[in-house]
Structure formats: C-alpha cells, structure tokens
Structure 1
Amino acid sequence: MARAVPAVERAFDVLELFLEAQELSAPEITAQLGLPRTTVHELVGTLNERGYLMPTGRGSNKYRLGVRSFQLGAAYAERLDLAREGHAVAEEIAERCQETVHVGVREGTDVLYVAKVDSSHPVRMVSAVGRRLPAHCTALGKVLLAELPRTELDDLYAERELQAMTDQSITSGKALREELDEVAADGVAREYRESNESVACVSAPVRDQNGRVVAAMSISVPILRWNDETETALRELVREGATALSERLGHSG
C-alpha cells in the first residue's frame, strides 16, 4: 500500500468537515482539527483557489463547499449505477405504497443513503441522500450487517459501543447478533422506532451480478400509519423492490 501523504490527508480532513457543516471559518476548522492556524489558512487558501471551497459571501470569513466539489460529486453520481437504478426502482415502489423508499449502502458501522423517493402523504420522512445513520439502528443496516460473516461482524464491533438513537435502539451486541440471525434467515429486516421515535421500517437486500449484497432497499412509514397488516404488505413489497433493483444490477438468481 502506498504511503499516505500528510498534506493531502489534512486537505481531505478539511473538506470532510463540510459533510456535517454548511459553513465554517478558519478558526472553527483549526479548533475541530487541532492543526496550526497557519497550516489551516494555507489549506483553506489552496482549496479556495482550486474551487473546492468558496467564501459564503463578500467580506465573510466563513467558507462553504465550492463548485469543484459539486462537480466531483455530480460526476461520481452520474457514474454510480446503483444510485441511478436505485432511484428508478424506488420511484416505482413509492408509487405503489405511497410511502418513503430509500436505498442505502454500508460504510463501516454506518448506513449511507444513496437514493430516496418521498411519500406522497403530508406526513413524511425527514431524511436525505448522503445522510449516515448507525447501521444497527436501521432496517437497512441490519440487512447489510446480516450478510457479514460472524468473525467480520465481531471485528467490526469489537471496540465500539452500540449507540442508542432512541430508547428502542439495540444497545447489546448479543441482542444485535440474535436479531441479525433472524434477518439472515428471513431475508427481511424490520425497525420499529429505533432510529426515529416516530418511524417504522422494513428492508430487503440488493444483490449484484455475482450475488453479493451490495445495498439494501427500505420502506419507511410514520408509526401513525403502521400496523400488522401494513407491515405484512410492505415486507412483500420491499422484497419485490429489492429483487427488481438486483435484476437491474445484473443479478439473475
């Protein structure tokens, strides 16, 4: 593996702060990264000059992501078949159930949402493409974690506490493993008020041409519209959606 270049790493550290913040000043970046002020000013100046950061306004001392960052993200999205195909299938499923449909992938112990189609109801999900959530708190994440070998799952959570997002979240490694065994056997995961007190969700795995689970699709419903009959119907529908997306990605199983 090639040696990491410290200056490049620090530049990416600066950019990645903007994944969570819309705008930041050089002093705020300095405080968050613990870098010398001169280093931060040089990094911000270079990123600004190259178009990856830009001032928020004339005379402002704060910066936001620049046009070049958007262009890179757009180029990535254009080439990412999963996001494009996922959105197309999610539109079809959302039209059938009138609820919010997501497609997500796993990154470490998080789920990253790559596609979303909103519910047509006035009460809908507050979520966004690009958002991350702890995988163990979501139906999407449980589907993706359930596909991992037990040794890999143990390594993934060996030194991590299970963060609770609500009082319904799984916080025990033993409880997580037991639920993942059920998900692996059934092929569908459920979540009830585990990442959001007001939301329930079901999810199924999406496979690529080699049969590997590369993503998951979910249907999310406010609990005011959730009941046993709804869950049964949506479990079958999310299976259909995940299968349709898998076929678009070349899976023939």
Structure 2
Amino acid sequence: MGRSVPAVTRALDILELFTTAEELSIPEIHARLGLPRTSVHELVGTLVARSYLAPSPDHPHRYRLGVGVFQLGAAYAERLDLAREGQVVAAEVAAACDETVHVAVLDGRDVVYIAKVDSTHPVRMVSAVGRRLPAHCTAVGLMLLASLDPETLNARFPLDQPLPALTPRSLTSPVRLRERLTRIRAKGLAEEYCESNDAVACVAAPVRDRGDRVVAAMSISVPTVRWSPERRDELGRLVADGAARLSKRLGHPG
C-alpha cells in the first residue's frame, strides 16, 4: 500500500460523518473531527463543488450528502450482482414469513447490510441498507466470521482484546467467540438473541458463490415478542432455504 494522502483522508472522514448524521454544519464537523476550521471550510467547499456534499435547502450553512455519493453508490450496486439478487430473494423470504430480512457482507470486523426487506408488522426491526454493525453482535456477522480461516480471525479478533458490546448480552470474550463459531460451523446456522438490539432476535445462513466461498449471509430478524423456539426453528429453515436460493442465483452448484 502507498502512503496515505492526508487531504484525501480528511475528506473521507468528513463524508463518513454523514453515515450517522443527516445534516452537519462547519462548526459541527470541526468539533467532531478536531480538524482546523479553515481546513474544514476548504474540504467542504471542494466536496460541494464536486457534488459529494450539498447545502441544505432549508439551512444553507448546513450540509448533507450530495448526488455524487448516490452516483458512486449506484454504480457500485449496479456492478454488484449480490446486492441486486439479494434484494430479490430477501423479498421472497420476507413474503413467506412477514419478518425483516437482511443480506449482509463482511467488512473487516463489521457487517454492512446490502439488501433489506421490511416486515409489514407495526413492531419490527429498524435498520437500513448501508448500516454497519459489529459482526460479533449479529447473526449475519457470526455466520460470516464462522467462514474465516483461523489466521484471518486471529488477526481481526486477537485473543487478548475484549470485544465491544452493544447490549448486556453481547459477546465480549474472544475465547467464547471462537467457541460460538465452532458450533455455528457445525450447525450451518447462526442465531443471536438481543445481542445487537435489546428487543430483537435473529437467525442467519451463509450465502456462497460459484466457487463455494461464503460471500454474504442472509438473516431474518424478529422482535422478541414474536420469538419462540418453534418460531426460531421455522425461520431457520426459511433462511437456510433463502440463502441456498440466493447462492444458486450467484452460480453455486448446490
């Protein structure tokens, strides 16, 4: 890898703030990143000129993501058959169970949702395509981590570093994580109960490509008020079938 370019890094840091904030002002960006205010003015001005940021219609001194970001994301999604095919199969699985269905990929220690179909129930999981969560706290993430070789897993999750928690039930022990992944490999399914959200349980299955590599995972997320051992088993069968169908669409021989 070549040397990082500080100006590019700072511009990307600014853009990434907008993954969790709809609008930000120059002072807010300055406060969050600790960059010199003059630098923030110049970087934001450049991003606006290139349409990656745009002034808010209602507050011209506040900024939001611009159409340039959408164009890049659309170009990426167009070339990523997994996202397009995942959305199709997720819709089929959601229609069968009327629960929220996700397809996610692994990015370092996190999962990123690339497809999602909502439940029609008034009580349902709130999430979005593009959302990022710690992999060890989610069923899709655990399923994807179970596919990693030991060397990669050790590099990303060293045994001497506790894991961050999202809820009191989240895994924090690297040793227990490895024990959990062993059981997931044996079963071929992953599940979690209130480990990423205090009120949600999930079950997930692996998605494989034509080379038999695990490239994604599909999950069904259910509010705990609708969760039971019987429902878990039913949804496990549905998500395994959905993941297998998505794998087939990606060229996996089955």
Q: Over aligned residues, Cα RMSD in angstroms? A: 1.4
Tell whether the 8 Å contact from 2:139 to 2:219 is kept in structure 1 after alignment. Answer: yes
Provide the rounded CA distance (Å) in 1 between the counterparts of 2:31 and 2:59: 22
For 2:135, give the aligned amino acid: A
Provide the rounded CA distance (Å) in 1 between the counterparts of 2:228 and 2:59: 54
**133-142 or 159-168, larger mean C-alpha shift:** 159-168
Over residues 76-125 of structure 1, what are the superposed CA-to-partner deviations in whole Å (9 max), with x where a residue is unaligned? 22222111100100011111111111000111111111111111222211
SS of equivalent residue, structure 1 residue 229: helix
SS of equivalent residue, structure 2 residue 4: coil
How far does residue 188 in structure 1 lie from its aligned partner after superposition? 0.2
**182-191 or 74-83, larger mean C-alpha shift:** 74-83
Matches within 5 A, 1:215-230: 215-230=216-231
Task: Give aligned-pair identity as a percent.
Answer: 63
SS of equivalent residue, structure 2 residue 85: helix
Which residue is equivalent to 1:114?
A: 114
**135-144 or 32-41, larger mean C-alpha shift:** 32-41
SS of equivalent residue, structure 1 residue 123: coil
**51-60 or 189-198, larger mean C-alpha shift:** 51-60
**23-32 or 181-190, larger mean C-alpha shift:** 23-32
Provide the rounded CA distance (Å) in 1 between the counterparts of 2:193 and 2:93: 20
Which residue is equivalent to 2:46?
A: 46
Over residues 122-147 of structure 1, what are the superposed CA-to-partner deviations in whole Å (9 max), with x where a residue is unaligned? 22111111111111111000000011
How far does residue 59 in structure 1 lie from its aligned partner after superposition? 5.7
Tell whether the 8 Å contact from 2:169 to 2:194 is kept in structure 1 after alignment. Answer: yes
1:206 matched to 2:207: yes
Over residues 167-201 of structure 1, what are the superposed CA-to-partner deviations in whole Å (9 max), with x where a residue is unaligned? 11111111111110000111100111111111111
How far does residue 210 in structure 1 lie from its aligned partner after superposition? 0.8
Provide the rounded CA distance (Å) in 1 between the counterparts of 2:186 and 2:209: 20
SS of equivalent residue, structure 1 residue 177: helix
Matches within 5 A, 1:104-253: 104-158=104-158, 160-253=161-254
Provide the rounded CA distance (Å) in 1 between the counterparts of 2:126 and 2:8: 34
TM-score, normalised by the number of residues in structure 1 = 0.95
**32-41 or 214-223, larger mean C-alpha shift:** 32-41
Over residues 58-83 of structure 1, what are the superposed CA-to-partner deviations in whole Å (9 max), with x where a residue is unaligned? 66321111111122212222222111
Provide the rounded CA distance (Å) in 2 between the counterparts of 1:8 and 1:18: 16
Which residue is equivalent to 2:26?
A: 26
For 2:48, give the aligned amino acid: N
SS of equivalent residue, structure 1 residue 4: coil
How far does residue 2 in structure 1 lie from its aligned partner after superposition? 3.4
Which residue is equivalent to 1:103?
A: 103
Which structure 1 residue ranges, 5 or more long, are not aligned?
none
TM-score, normalised by the number of residues in structure 2 = 0.95
Which structure 2 residue ranges, 5 or more long, are not aligned?
none
How far does residue 244 in structure 1 lie from its aligned partner after superposition? 0.4
**1-10 or 74-83, larger mean C-alpha shift:** 1-10
How far does residue 32 in structure 1 lie from its aligned partner after superposition? 2.1
**Cα 1:205/1:59, change in 2 over 3 Å:** closer
How far does residue 153 in structure 1 lie from its aligned partner after superposition? 1.1
